[in-house]
């Protein structure tokens, strides 16, 4: 890929990633666009949640999805090393790579003989790993690794921003829901806002239910959950 074309492609992808409407949409675009830039068959994303790598959920090529499931189920594979040791990992021949005695042959049986995992991260958090798969052996050289790492950096910033925006949206929605529930209690039982919130809080503690879920039930049923 000529240098000018490569730079333009990276710039276009970075812009498009930041323009997506949500976290899953950002991953979808990444998986659609990134393999062509690296010159490989398909890609996938495993996200780090509560200290564990889990499947990202959005659409992934079926064969890459299966390879990722093997990584998660077997708790071994290049994505685990990329996240745990914080460096990119190249698999030249999955069938014979001694680092992953179970995952390697399973990936090879899927027809995926090479892999490249790069860490998705920001200065504060590790987000997960982006893995590129290829059907041929020794598919990734120094240039492909460099391209994949540039894509990974762009993707990390976009995914972190998308996750933060979704978290803020969820927090705002939860606050609105609690406010609606307080309003119902204030009108029905002649309470002030502090007393109404205390009722919701005590129901939440007594039933071991999240506060926003108690509020959701009250708003939808117009009744407090049964104790």
Q: CATH number for the domain including 146? A: 3.30.450.40
| Domain shared by 78 and 46, yes or no | yes
| Domain shared by 172 and 101, yes or no | no
pLDDT above 90 (res 152): yes
Average pLDDT over residues 96-106: 97
Over the chain, what is the mean pLDDT? 87
Distance (Å, rounded) from C-alpha 134 to C-alpha 35? 9
| Domain shared by 7 and 77, yes or no | yes
Of the three residues 121, 148, 167, the one that is the final residue of a domain is 167
Least confident of 6-10, 100-104, 181-185: 6-10
Q: Which residue has the higher pLDDT, 208 or 130?
A: 130
CA-atom Rg of the chain in angstroms = 23
Q: Mean pLDDT: which of 61-70, 98-107, 178-187 is highest?
A: 98-107
Beta strands (DSSP E) in the chain are: 42-49, 52-55, 89-91, 114-121, 126-134
- Is residue 140 domain-resident? yes
Q: How many domains does the chain have?
A: 2
| Domain shared by 25 and 111, yes or no | yes
Least confident of 68-72, 128-132, 152-156, 206-210: 206-210
| Domain shared by 77 and 185, yes or no | no
Least confident of 73-77, 82-86, 209-213: 209-213
Q: Across the chain, which distance is largest between two alpha carbons, in Å?
A: 73
| Domain shared by 35 and 101, yes or no | yes
Domain around 76: 3-167
| Domain shared by 163 and 51, yes or no | yes
| Domain shared by 138 and 159, yes or no | yes
Average pLDDT over residues 50-75: 86
Average pLDDT over residues 150-155: 92
- Is residue 83 domain-resident? yes
What's the pLDDT score for residue 100? Answer: 95
For residue 184, the domain's CATH number is 1.10.10.10
- Is residue 226 domain-resident? no
- Is residue 177 domain-resident? yes
| Domain shared by 141 and 175, yes or no | no
Give the 3-state secondary structure of residue 124.
Answer: coil
| Domain shared by 80 and 183, yes or no | no
| Domain shared by 105 and 17, yes or no | yes
What's the pLDDT score for residue 37? Answer: 92
Least confident of 5-19, 71-85, 124-138, 169-183: 5-19
- Is residue 163 domain-resident? yes
- Is residue 22 domain-resident? yes
| Domain shared by 153 and 129, yes or no | yes
What's the pLDDT score for residue 14? Answer: 75
| Burial environment of residue 21 by CB neighbours within 10 A (0 to 12, 13 to 18, 19 or more) | exposed
Residue written as token pair 């996938």: 44
Q: Mean pLDDT: which of 35-44, 47-56, 131-140, 196-205 is highest?
A: 131-140
- Is residue 75 domain-resident? yes
């Amino acid at each position: 890929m000529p240098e000018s074309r490569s730079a333009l492609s990276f710039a276009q992808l970075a812009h498009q990633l930041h323009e997506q409407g949500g976290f899953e949409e950002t991953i979808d675009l990444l998986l659609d666009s990134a393999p062509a830039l690296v010159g490989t068959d398909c890609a996938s994303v495993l996200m780090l949640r509560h200290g564990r790598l889990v499947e990202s959920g959005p659409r992934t090529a079926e064969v890459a999805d299966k390879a990722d499931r093997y990584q998660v189920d077997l708790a071994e594979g290049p994505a685990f090393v990329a996240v745990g040791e914080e460096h990119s990992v190249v698999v030249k021949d999955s069938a014979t790579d001694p680092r992953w005695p179970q995952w390697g042959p399973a990936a090879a049986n899927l027809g995926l003989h090479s892999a490249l995992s790069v860490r998705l991260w920001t200065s504060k958090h590790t987000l997960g790993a982006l893995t590129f798969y290829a059907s041929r052996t020794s598919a990734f050289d120094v240039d492909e690794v460099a391209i994949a790492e540039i894509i990974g950096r762009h993707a990390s910033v976009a995914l972190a921003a998308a996750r933060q925006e979704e978290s803020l949206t969820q927090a705002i929605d939860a606050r609105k829901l609690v406010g609606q529930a307080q309003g119902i209690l204030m009108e029905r039982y002649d309470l002030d806002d502090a007393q109404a919130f205390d009722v919701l809080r005590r129901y939440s503690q007594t039933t071991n239910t999240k506060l926003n879920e108690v509020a959701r039930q009250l708003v939808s049923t117009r009744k407090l959950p049964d104790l």
